[in-house]
Amino acid sequence: MSHWVDQTSMAIKSQTNSNAAPLFLLAELFALITRKLIRGLMAAFLLWCILFVICWPVALLALVFYPIVWLFLLPFRLVGIAVHGVLELVWAVVTLPARLLAVPFRL
- Reported for 35-38, long-range contacts at CB under 8 A and 24+ positions apart, including other chains, are none
- Indicate whether 3 and 50 sit together in one domain: yes
Q: What integer pLDDT is reported at residue 14 of this predicted model?
A: 54
**Residue 81 pLDDT class (50, 70, 90 cuts):** very high
Distance between start and end Cα atoms, the chain: 26
Average pLDDT estimate for 81-90: 96
- Indicate whether 36 and 64 sit together in one domain: no
| pTM strictly above 0.75 | no
Q: If DSSP codes are grouped into helix, strand and coil, which group holds residue 107?
A: coil
Average pLDDT estimate for 18-25: 66
- Indicate whether 49 and 87 sit together in one domain: no
- Indicate whether 33 and 65 sit together in one domain: no
Average pLDDT estimate for 59-72: 93
Residue 13 belongs to what domain range?
A: 1-54
The alpha-helical segments, DSSP class H, found in the chain are 2-15, 21-54, 56-102
